[in-house]
Amino acid sequence: MASASKAPAQPTQLGAFTARLFDRVKPIWERTHQHPFVTGLGDGTLPVETFAFYMKQDYVFLIDYAKLFAIASTKAYDLDTSAKFAALQEATLNSEMALHRAYAERFGISREELEATESSFVMLAYTSYMLKVAHQGSLAELVSALLPCMWSYWEIGKRLAEIPGATAHELYGDWVSTYSGDEFGELAQWLIGVMDDLADGKNERELARFEEHFLTTSKMEVLFWEMAYRKELWPACQS
């Protein structure tokens, strides 16, 4: 992979707290950048059946992920923020999931089959954790838990887009283009800004809790890529 050894560049417009998060998460996200699933997306060597397994798991993941934005909308501190979270839910349920449905159609997978996908253990653990935080925690805790998914995908997309031919690949080019694109990047930057706003004025005990959620779900992202690469539904429990 052409950019495999490149150190992650700090995004622009990071506030004090998200810069702290970015510094702490670098080793975890670098594991993602080096993961064979991700490098396979960039150089086009990822087996089609592995990508199809991932798309199905990610589709059912997004169903729960969209619920987090709905909960965030109800917890928002002002009308504009509430509306933006509602718009994020709409974008997830329509634009992002449309990418998955388009890929499924290319693989001969019906929408009904896609929505009936059996959830993997990792997917269930990941979304259950975030939903627990969403229901029991503050808006700041919720954002800190859901932010790694969007932010890390943007980081992955940007890095893969630097590889010659990655965005033009006949199968994986649409994926790379979506997550490296300006529209997705603007959403990620907005959510990063919300995290900084919510962290402003909080004491160290609260900031440490946000950081813990952020690092936990970042680790879950790594596990999600590994689960998809192995096409593993239930570790040590395969029937």
- Give the sign of the dihedral formed by CA 18, CA 211, CA 187, CA 7: positive
Cα 131 to Cα 55, 78, 137, 197, 236, distances in angstroms: 21, 22, 10, 22, 25
| Residue 231: predicted pLDDT | 97
- Residue 141: closest CA among 192, 193, 195, 187: 195
Show the CA angle centred on residue 192, arms to residues 10 and 68, nearest 5°: 135
Residue with tokens 């992920």: 65
> Alpha helices of 34-138 — where are they, by DSSP H?
36-43, 48-75, 79-91, 97-106, 111-115, 121-136
pLDDT tens sequence for the chain (239 residues) = 333 334 455 566 799 999 999 999 999 999 999 999 999 999 999 999 999 999 999 999 999 999 999 999 999 989 999 999 998 898 888 877 888 888 888 888 888 888 889 999 999 999 999 999 999 999 999 999 999 999 999 999 999 999 999 999 999 999 999 999 999 999 999 999 999 999 999 999 999 999 999 999 999 999 999 999 999 999 876 55
Q: Would you name the residues annotated as active-site residues? A: 149, 221
Residue 159 sits at the vertex; the CA angle it makes with 158 and 164, to the nearest 5 degrees, is 100
Q: What is the pLDDT of residue 2?
A: 34
Structure tokens at 185: 């990047």
Sequence-ordered list of residues with C-beta below 8 angstroms from that of 36, at least 6 positions apart, any chain? 229
- Taking the C-alpha atoms of residue 60 and residue 114, their distance in angstroms, rounded to an integer, is 8
How far is the C-alpha of 217 from the C-alpha of 97, rounded, in Å?
21
Distance CA 56, CA 49 (A): 11
1.10.3720.10, 3.40.50.10420, 3.40.1010.10, 1.20.910.10: which CATH number matches 16-230?
1.20.910.10
Segment 50-73, tens digit of pLDDT: 999 999 999 999 999 999 999 999
Output DSSP code: residue 233: S
Which pLDDT score, from 0 to 100, does residue 102 have? Answer: 86
Question: Which pLDDT score, from 0 to 100, does residue 90 have?
Answer: 87
Give the start-to-end residue ranges of the domains of the chain. Answer: 16-230
pLDDT on residue 213: 98
